[in-house]
Amino acid sequence: MERTRNSATSTPRPGRGGFTLVELLVVITIIAILIGLLLPAVQMAREAGRRADCLNKIHQIVIALQHHLEAHGSFPPGIASGTTGSKAYVTGGNAAGSYVTGPNWLMNLFDELEMPVMARNVMLNTRDDWTSQDDFDWKAPGGGGCYVIAAFVCPSADLMSPDNYLNAWHIEGPQGEDKGPGMQARGNYAGCFGSGVFINNYNPGSKNLPAVRDPKDGLFGVVQIPGWETYTPGDSRDPSGGTGLWKMGYGCGVRDNEVVDGTSNTMAVSEILGVDSTKDGRGTWSIFMPGATNYMAKTRPNARGAASDNDPDAFDKIGMCDTSIPTTDPLHCTENRSDANLWAAARSRHTRGVNVGMADGSCRFVDNQIAFEVWQAMATIAGRESVGPE
């Protein structure tokens, strides 16, 4: 009789139920290694994009400088000042010792940057008020100095909390006096004030700033407005018919033929970092304090911090400083509100350096390890140095 197979008693074919624990751990380890390799590359790609965006914003600013030069015959003054030379360093208005100040160089570019509302607010301020830096924060509707202007913010920089805008200072005098403290927002772009301090040829006993430029002077600086002592806001003697335009300092800045070193060799704009504190003025785009809208090559870019003022890595010395920042932080600062011996380094959150816009409208990235003498040479307009491309 033919035998038949009993399916119920047949031996099942061996099979796989899943991964072993060892295999699973190997797969997880491989995935982790791949992620570890990928993440830095993604982060580097993102930062490269942010750095390029930041450089493009600087490029727009230096092109605006070219338009201003063409329209007015000079670059805008770093600060258009109407006060005695002995008080030209003052970051503030009447109560602090300054007679009148026009807008800083960045505020002077609103027309060229195609920001008509902000340009109009500046004009209202120059018409009606004494100083464009400590009055502008409350003059414009909503508070002109409160605005965060996207064109002034580098995407790589720290985002400042609105709660920490500069408001612990009343720039004009003691807190509570006059209009009280104003809220002033931050930005990240500053003009080059040379390779020395805030005012290189400062003489405390002088009435006027010296007419002869110092070898350490940069493309921007404190410029006295001709005839400032004879004008008052709205006065019939005002050459602009009561509009206050004389405070803009049109045509009073550096002319292109004064840039002896060549505009392609001379820095105009670089980056600065704000501090997330209500007590620190760095990064505040509506004032003219070092570290706010101007920097100096007295120290190297992204200076690491040193106790000696003569060290290329010296800490910033500024007029509005949060002195609680520890000395282990490169943004530690010392405060000085008594003279022009002030400076702040160019700083960024980019890897290894800062973006720079030159006086001819070109841009470049400058490494932190640039030879210090070359960095200082790039900062001056008439040091008669020759600077090659970086």
pLDDT of residue 199: 94
Any idea where the domains of the chain sit in the sequence? 60-378
What percentage of the chain exceeds 70 in pLDDT? 79
Q: Residue 178's pLDDT band (boundaries 50, 70, 90)?
A: very low
Query: Does the pLDDT of residue 182 top 80, yes or no?
Result: no
- The neighbouring-strand residues paired with 75 are none
Lowest-pLDDT range, 47-61, 202-216, 375-389? Answer: 375-389
Residue 191 contacts residue 269 (beta carbons within 8 Å):
yes
Mean pLDDT across 82-91: 86
pLDDT of residue 209: 85
Mean pLDDT across 271-285: 89
Query: Does the pLDDT of residue 236 top 60, yes or no?
Result: no
Amino acid at 347: R
Query: Does the pLDDT of residue 320 top 80, yes or no?
Result: yes
**Intra-chain end-to-end CA distance of the chain, in Å:** 98
Mean pLDDT across 302-316: 95
∠ CA 261-265-269, nearest 5°, is: 115
Q: Residue 390's pLDDT band (boundaries 50, 70, 90)?
A: very low
- Per DSSP, 100 falls in state E
The four Cα atoms 350, 323, 290, 309 give a dihedral, to 10 degrees, of -90
pLDDT of residue 385: 61
pLDDT of residue 211: 77
User: For 81-118, b where at least 16 C-beta lie within 10 A, e where not — what string?
Assistant: bbbbbbbbbbbbbbebebbbbbbbbbbbbbbbbebeeb
The tokens for 176 are 């509570």
Say how many CA atoms lie within 13 Å of 184 toward its Cβ: 35
Q: Give CA–CA dist 20/253, Å, rounded.
A: 76
Mean pLDDT of all residues in the chain? 83
Residue bearing the bigger pLDDT, 264 or 24: 264
pLDDT of residue 26: 83
Residue 331's closest CA among 340, 321, 339? 321
Query: Does the pLDDT of residue 234 top 60, yes or no?
Result: no
